[in-house]
Amino acid sequence: MEEAIAAFHEGMDTFYEPQSVTCTAKNKRVLFAKMYDTFLKPSILQAKLNNLSAKETIEFLVPKILDWIRNNSVREQLNLRNDLKDNTKAAQLRSEGNKMFHPNVKRYIEAIKLYNESIAFSEKGSTERALAYANRSNICLKMQRFEECLKNIRLARESNYSGEKLNQREKEVKNALAKARNKNASSSKISPDVVEEPELSYPAKENAPQVANCLELRKNEEYGRHVVTTRKLKVGDVVMIERPFVTVLKDSFRYVRCDFCHGERPFTLIPCEGCTAAMYCSEECLSKAYNNYHRYDCGILRDLYEDFEEVSLIDIRMIAIAITTFDNNPEALKDHLDALDESNVNGFTMDWNKATQQDIFNTVHVLTTNQERRHSMFVAMFIFNATILHTLILERTELGPVCEANPATNKFLLDLILRYMQIVNCNRKLLSFNAYKVNEYVAESFAVGCYPLISMLNHSCAPNVKRITLPDGRCAVFVIRPVLEGSQLFDSYEAGHTLHEREMRQSMLSFTYSFRCTCEACTFNYPTLKVLLEGSDVINSENKTKHLYYNRMLSSHEDKKVRKIMAELRSFLNETPKLYPESEVCFRQVEFVRSLQVLYNQTSENAEYWKHCKP
Ligand SMILES: C[S@@+](CC[C@H](N)C(=O)[O-])C[C@H]1O[C@@H](n2cnc3c(N)ncnc32)[C@H](O)[C@@H]1O
């Protein structure tokens, strides 16, 4: 068992960015391991001896885990606490921001993040809030973001800013703005290089405008539900473009992006007045977020970010969306689900043109949980997390009194938290953008979400499609290897053979997704790019030269150049008689994917910010 726990930690750390796993989240795992050793192990064994099904095992374990959590002061040990505004903390954060802002330091991006956090912690109308906005206006001025500077001056005044400094700054900004406007009016306008949005390469299904009509959903013993193409597909084809059902920002973007639309708006974020964990780009996003989900995650969001892994964050947001979809009435949601015939829900045949929010919700509710396949230890860990989350929701949201009055609703809520935790665990996808790291662009994820139809794609370590996040959060599925008519489409669950060794991929896939991968890359042990690069034959050295050339072009991030090489790479991949995984084909495919990211992912404005900062 220790091995399983070690694999569990290792799996988590290897694949889910250890830096994003907070100290308390690690504590929580240690607590879980303690509980496992003290009493869970024999209980699970007993469930096995009694031949209990996964569902019965859960019913059997829930009360035991609940008792253990209550009797072992788990909440205190995890330091879970109400999220309150705190002007002292706000002042501290602002002073750290000032250090970053200092002319000798000039780390404006870090300073902005700290000022934003200070704004989030400050009380409404407080001097602290006014000062943080005023400081943010100063950075805007330094970075020549004049409109945003004026907005911050307005926000500072609305927060009762009383000093003189802002009048002078406002004058300065207005002058600079007038000058900039005159300059723009007199200079000839250069039209920006607009990259067209990708579109489906084939007519859409009549019932589902987000899917090409050549895709069908099938089901078999080996793969469960899976997606097959009824026509041959070429590299570069776009076969799905789907909107996520739910998304959650990653921790490191909370003070940079809007919690609702996820736009990168560090200079103008405004805080939620109920918590310190969510900021928005506008009153409109703030109110949409509140009505769609935040009324249920407001009181617990900070604890979720600090003490739980991302699965729990998305889980709670899904619960919140589910309840708001049913007019904030958990009992109506329960009645709906009691009456739902899950086997009849099929996102590929449903009419999306007429679908209600409730129909769309059904497609997510029936995503796979893998409950029957999952190792009991992991089921127990989900129960442990779900039980803590359930307690927090009861204590800190309006669902508390509703559940107290109705034990059936109370149990339903816990069951739902547990179900969605399992769904999220094996269906979540990363949303990516082109981040700028001092002097180069890299693909990075800023959020995690769930998509109803894209979730039907199974995994291969040598996939034939690639998901690309578009700037509005939709995900486009591009073909990256020629696909024969009648074949299955395979995505990669962030475990491609070009990056990870077989052993590592297989342990992650079995750990998170509960299946043993038998894809071609696992069967024939395809090499990683590193191994291919280290090869020293003549073809490889030519290949390396080309790889360096393509990388240079890609890192220029110039649309025209990238579009040209994207077309070149696509033709090569469609026409080459060489077979995958010959090194040339692997390299060109990796470069092709990068060209799609450069062209279609949203590109951070960070490169622009850095011009004003100290390197
Ligand atoms: C995102 S879902 C994919 C759709 C799923 N097959 C279904 O029926 O809903 C992920 C789950 O599908 C199954 N799966 C994905 N790729 C697989 C593969 N290559 N072989 C077997 N099962 C796979 C695993 O159970 C995995 O946890």
Q: Tell me the per-residue pLDDT of 203-260, one tens digit each, with 9 for 90 and over.
A: 999 999 999 999 999 999 999 999 999 999 999 999 999 999 999 999 999 999 999 9
For ligand 1, atom 7: residue with the closest CA: 225
Sheet of 246-249: strand order equals 246-249, 440-450, 429-437, 602-603
Residue 24 above 80 pLDDT? Answer: no
Is domain 215-243+451-607 annotated with CATH 2.170.270.10?
Answer: yes
Q: What's the confidence (pLDDT) of residue 456?
A: 98
Do 429 and 364 meet the contact criterion of CB atoms below 8 Å apart? no
- Burial letters 206-236, b for 16+ CB under 10 A, else e: ebbebbbbbbeeeeeeeeebbbebeeebebb
Q: Taking CA 279 as the corner, what is the angle to CA 306 and CA 472, rounded to the nearest 5 degrees?
A: 105
Tell me the pLDDT band of 272, cut-offs 50, 70 and 90: very high
Number of H helices and E strands in the chain, helices first, is 26, 13
Residue 139 above 50 pLDDT? Answer: yes
Mean pLDDT for the stretch of residues 141-170: 93
Least confident of 27-41, 138-152, 228-242: 27-41
Tell me the pLDDT band of 17, cut-offs 50, 70 and 90: very low
Pairing of strands 215-220, 224-229: antiparallel
Q: Of all atoms in ligand 1, which is nearest to the CA of residue 225?
A: 8
Residue 133: CB atoms within 10 A of its CB come to 26
Torsion sign (Cα): 103, 105, 110, 111: negative
Mean pLDDT for the stretch of residues 264-284: 98
Instruction: Provide the residue ranges of all domains of the chain, joining segments of one domain with +.
Output: 87-183, 215-243+451-607, 250-428
CB < 8 Å & 24+ apart, contacts of 403-406? 403/330, 406/331
Determine whether the shortest distance from the Cβ of 517 to ligand 1 is under 6 A: yes
pLDDT: is 516 or 532 the higher one? Answer: 516
Least confident of 113-127, 398-412, 441-455, 531-545: 531-545
Closest CA to 519 of 546, 481, 485, 556: 481
Q: Of all atoms in ligand 1, which is nearest to the CA of residue 426?
A: 27
DSSP notation for 323-363: HHHTTT-HHHHHHHHHH--GGG--TTTS-TTT--HHHHHHH
Tell me the pLDDT band of 427, cut-offs 50, 70 and 90: very high
In sequence order, the 6+-apart residues with CB closer than 8 A to the CB of 257 are 249, 263, 264, 265, 266, 446, 447
Determine whether the shortest distance from the Cβ of 217 to ligand 1 is under 6 A: no
Q: Compute CA 368 distance to the chain's CA centroid, rounded to the nearest angstrom.
A: 19
- Crossing angle of helices 330-339 and 407-427, in 10° steps, is 70
Topology annotation, domain 87-183:
1.25.40
In sequence order, the 6+-apart residues with CB closer than 8 A to the CB of 281 are 258, 260, 261, 263, 265, 268, 269, 270
Closest CA to 471 of 428, 431, 435: 431
Q: What's the confidence (pLDDT) of residue 339?
A: 98
Residue 16 above 50 pLDDT? Answer: no
Mean pLDDT for the stretch of residues 438-442: 82
Tell me the pLDDT band of 15, cut-offs 50, 70 and 90: very low
- Summary mean pLDDT of the chain: 91
Using a cut of 0.90, tell me whether the model's pTM lies above it: yes
Give the Å distance between the CA of 457 and the centre of ligand 1: 7
Determine whether the shortest distance from the Cβ of 368 to ligand 1 is under 6 A: yes
Closest CA to 600 of 449, 432, 410, 464: 432
Q: What is the pLDDT of residues 497-512, one digit of tens each?
A: 999 999 999 999 998 9
Tell me the pLDDT band of 191, cut-offs 50, 70 and 90: low
What percent of the chain lies above the pLDDT cut of 70?
93
Determine whether the shortest distance from the Cβ of 426 to ligand 1 is under 6 A: yes
Give the Å distance between the CA of 262 and the centre of ligand 1: 28
Do 594 and 568 meet the contact criterion of CB atoms below 8 Å apart? no
Mean pLDDT for the stretch of residues 58-69: 89
Torsion sign (Cα): 296, 299, 304, 305: positive
Determine whether the shortest distance from the Cβ of 247 to ligand 1 is under 6 A: no
Q: What's the confidence (pLDDT) of residue 192?
A: 52
Closest CA to 488 of 230, 132, 239, 308: 230
Q: Look up the ipTM and state it.
A: 1.00
pLDDT: is 54 or 116 the higher one? Answer: 116
Q: Of all atoms in ligand 1, which is nearest to the CA of residue 455?
A: 1
Q: What single letter denotes the amino acid at residue 95? A: S
Instruction: State how far the Cα of 545 lies from the Cα of 540, in Å rounded to an integer.
Output: 9
Residue 28 above 60 pLDDT? Answer: yes
CA gyration radius, the chain: 26
Mean pLDDT for the stretch of residues 19-29: 64
Measure Cα distances from 46 to 23, 43, 371, 376 in Å.
33, 5, 18, 12
Give the Å distance between the CA of 459 and the centre of ligand 1: 7
Q: What's the confidence (pLDDT) of residue 19?
A: 42
Do 431 and 263 meet the contact criterion of CB atoms below 8 Å apart? no
In sequence order, the 6+-apart residues with CB closer than 8 A to the CB of 460 are 490, 491, 492, 517, 519, 520, 521
For ligand 1, atom 20: residue with the closest CA: 223
Determine whether the shortest distance from the Cβ of 515 to ligand 1 is under 6 A: yes
Give the Å distance between the CA of 515 and the centre of ligand 1: 7
Structure token pair of residue 260: 């609702």
Q: What's the confidence (pLDDT) of residue 539?
A: 58
